[in-house]
Amino acid sequence: MGWPNPRRQVTEPGFDATATTAAYDSDAITVLEGLEAVRKRPGMYIGSTGPRGLHHLVYEVVDNSVDEAMAGHCTQVDIVLHPDGACSVTDDGRGIPVAAMVDQDGRSALEVVLTVLHAGGKFGGEGYKVSGGLHGVGVSVVNALSERLRAEVRREGRLWMQGYQRGAPDGPIADVGPAEGSGTTISFWPDPEIFEETHFDYDTLAARFRETAFLTPGLRLTITDERAGRRTDSFQFEGGLTDFVRHINSTKDPLHSDIVAISAVGAEGQVDIAMQWTAGFTESVFTFANNINTHEGGTHLTGFRTALTRCVNDYARAKGLLKEKDDNLEGNDTREGLTAIVSVKLRDPQFEGQTKTKLGNSEFAGFVATVVNQRLAEFMEENPQTAKVICQKGANAAQARLAARKARDLARRKGVMDSSSLPGKLADCSDRDPENTEIFLVEGDSAGGSAVQARQSSFQAILPLRGKIINVEKARLDKVLSNTEIQAMITAMGTGIGIDFDVTKARYHKLIIMTDADVDGAHIRTLILTFLFRQMPEIVDQGYVYIAQPPLYKVKQGSTEQYLEKESDLEEWLLDRNVGDMVLIPATGEQSALTKARFQRYARVVREHDGWSAALRAAHGNELVEFIQVHGLVEAEPADLAALGRAVVEASGDTAVLSVLDTETTAGTVRVRAIETRTGEARTVTIPLSLYATTELTSFRAARGKLRDLLGGAPFVVTRGARRREVATYDALRGAVMDLAREGIALSRFKGLGEMNAEQLWETTMDPERRVLQQVTMDDAAAADELFSMLMGDKVEPRREFIERNAHSVEFLDV
């Protein structure tokens, strides 16, 4: 399944995935254009400067390593999130070429790849037969948008290294010395001048790399988080797509235990498919081309669907499971409850669609259809029990489809599904151009009334929803259509549903879900999103769906009043207004003004300091780390055990007396006792000499040095006018500063829409000039499918595990 394992050979004639007829060296690098304007317009290259764009940097680097695996030259990729905010990606591939390029003024191929857009081994020559990263902008854009980047290449027995600052090389590439094996390590620090936030989310990255491992059988991807205790996940799936389907269906109820696996290689390329039917009512088919998520489908999906419908109908007719008088099963019938992954590999993919994630290679429709017709028919003949279950599932779906059609016809006769007869509770807008209009789905009649008063009636429509809509994850379409609130949403949008769905008939191009910020509001929002994801996914794909973001805080200082959406906005507001008149008095060094810029630099460095502190504690234990910090042994640099013993004794002072109890030469440790002068309390710890050579302690000490240079030595006194705070440590300074900044501020926190009158609702949540909307996207449909099944499906255990795993991160829970 999937791309041939790098450790085995492809013997089937036709498309050879691992063939490389020319060497991957500097001659394989083709330059299309220079690096321009990336820092000025980063959104053009990575989508945004928010979390999505930040994580895209990691994907770009990892995708290069995955391309090496797809070419048969890489088996291991390690991703590490470091406490200082860096991310490093290491692979055991061939290593980026380092030889000088004549047509690039003698610059090394590595420097060209890192500084020139569209430079790589995927545009000309035979460096790669196929690749997922086809644009060649990846690593150069990562370099341009990083405060620092370091490239290390192991190639031909040597280690080569080059550093960069915001895209510019520090100097020429350097031969550092001999090296074992081959491969590339890219370490980068995202630039805080570019990104709103530079903190990587571990779970987001882990989910992406799990999917990548499913699609690349045999490749091991390991992600490690060093920032707050050590957390590691390793993904490797020899079963490939079969394991992928099994993983998605772990939150569902499969109808058969065996997973249908199809794989074929031909002149067009390679196709791999895995599928299994479940007791659910929705289709979950996910497609990929060269590991790129083609969530808009394309020719490979068309070929799969066509062949699947024909194959199931042919078998059902041949075995008498469909009678002569029965109509053929329709495509939607055969795919009800189906989970399937369709992955194709091809040399020159052509992408179309709104987001360039729709495969357009026409030859692949016929190729996939032929393969599915042949292989699925063989499977059904060889597995009659499973085939019968598949056909019966389709027959039941057909009956439900007929019932849904009757429900739809009845609804039409009553006028509730006719877009010319809009719901009575809909407060429509006067503008009839969908591109200019928006509809708010509001929780409850009360909030709906406030929204109607607050809105601009020319372009804003309001649809209040009473109670909680039906959970479509547990119901067939006929039951879904009988729900009054569902009917109101369908008719208000005007698109229809099911076979009648037509996204071009949407009456609004913004559908905004506006619910309270409490548990009930979150549940209603999830129910609406489940309905849209399962029954109207095209609306999500088109980017029409948004979630309103009411403010978290209202702040008032003097005559100034403002609404703030999140905690970071509150801090920014306080810093802008109240930090400039603060004075910092360190224990060592001169007192000075604490400006906003200085405080923000401190905040970045202290986050690095805290990260290395957490890594140090995870590796060596809280007690030892606390001991060496309290008694000033962090700064010691002992060359041997005797020097460590002397440093211990010299650390004695007014607050404690330290002594060496014994030295273990074999273990390389010193056992130390500290007796507090005031209380007489004694503490004993064992300090290993090896601690002082660890990266964790060295980096922690470097971060402390940065803080000292920036602020002076602890402890501190911070003053703001007559007010003052005493601070013992660097860590505590942030809290003291923010406490002082909050004094004199009237701060209130909103729970939800119900607390706002119409004027407040307009100012905070509905005014296009001031509001914040969160657009709902479907970057990873497979992950979304799994999440909706987990949260809204019948299985309780996966939902319980999800709640337990994420309970620690819940804030402001209103029950």
Looking at residue 103, what DSSP letter applies?
G
State the residue for tokens 């409490």: 518
* CA dihedral of residues 362, 365, 367, 368 (deg, nearest 10): 150
Q: Whole-angstrom Cα distance, residue 585 to residue 390?
A: 75
- What is the crossing angle of helices 363-382 and 299-318, to 10°? 30
In single-letter form, the type of residue at position 714 comes to: A
Selection from 621, 626, 646 nearest residue 636 by Cα: 646
Instruction: Catalogue the active-site residues.
Output: 443, 516, 518, 520
Yes or no: say if 565 and 552 are a contact pair by the CB < 8 Å rule: yes
In single-letter form, the type of residue at position 660 comes to: V
Helices marked H in 229-354: 241-248, 299-318, 331-334
Q: Whole-angstrom Cα distance, residue 156 to residue 159?
A: 9
Positive or negative, the Cα torsion across 664, 669, 670, 671?
Answer: negative
Yes or no: say if 187 and 87 are a contact pair by the CB < 8 Å rule: yes
Q: Whole-angstrom Cα distance, residue 103 to residue 106?
A: 7
User: In Å, what is the CA distance from 437 to each residue of 461, 493, 609, 772?
Assistant: 8, 11, 49, 17
* CA dihedral of residues 602, 604, 606, 610 (deg, nearest 10): 180
User: In Å, what is the CA distance from 62 to each residue of 79, 92, 134, 181, 185?
Assistant: 8, 12, 13, 19, 10
Query: Judging by DSSP bridges, how do beta strands 773-775 and 746-749 pair with one another?
Result: unpaired
Q: Whole-angstrom Cα distance, residue 465 to residue 515?
A: 10
Selection from 413, 435, 694 nearest residue 542 by Cα: 435
Yes or no: say if 160 and 174 are a contact pair by the CB < 8 Å rule: yes
**Tokens encoding 63:** 């995708």
State the residue for tokens 């062949």: 307
User: In Å, what is the CA distance from 75 to each residue of 94, 131, 633, 692?
Assistant: 11, 16, 42, 34
Q: Which helix (H) or strand (E) holds 212?
A: helix 202-215
Yes or no: say if 494 and 505 are a contact pair by the CB < 8 Å rule: yes
Yes or no: say if 329 and 312 are a contact pair by the CB < 8 Å rule: yes
In single-letter form, the type of residue at position 198 comes to: T
Tell me the Ramachandran region of residue 85: left when phi exceeds 0, alpha when psi lies from -120 to 50, beta otherwise. left
Q: Whole-angstrom Cα distance, residue 573 to residue 751?
A: 20
Q: Whole-angstrom Cα distance, residue 378 to residue 376?
A: 5
